[in-house]
Structure 1
Amino acid sequence: LDNDKLQVDVLANLDKVQPAGAVVIVSYPRIEGATGLPARVWAITE
């Protein structure tokens, strides 16, 4: 988070998302000093 970059891992159901062309949205709370946090991730596909 120091460089305004995130790493999102341990996601479920990625096998249901097409390999290219999806729009991914990640939402997470900003917690001061946190080294990990919960996130909600959506993939929008056609």
Structure 2
Amino acid sequence: MRTFLENSGYSDADVDKMYHAWFKSVTLQVSIWSYPYTTDDDW
């Protein structure tokens, strides 16, 4: 993902911000979608 953003012509600071926003979004989505498949003891 970072390579894709770097090739888009944005500044390094903007690429860093976009990458971290994307990473946070993916991490949150994985947490939310995996919750139903875990037991209460796992959380």
Global fold match (TM > 0.5): no
Higher Rg of the two aligned structures = 2
Normalised to the residue count of structure 2, the TM-score between the two structures is 0.28
- Identify, as 1 or 2, the structure richer in strand: 1
Normalised to the residue count of structure 1, the TM-score between the two structures is 0.27
- Flag the structure with more relative contact order, 1 or 2, with Cα contacts below 8 A and sequence separation at least 6: 1
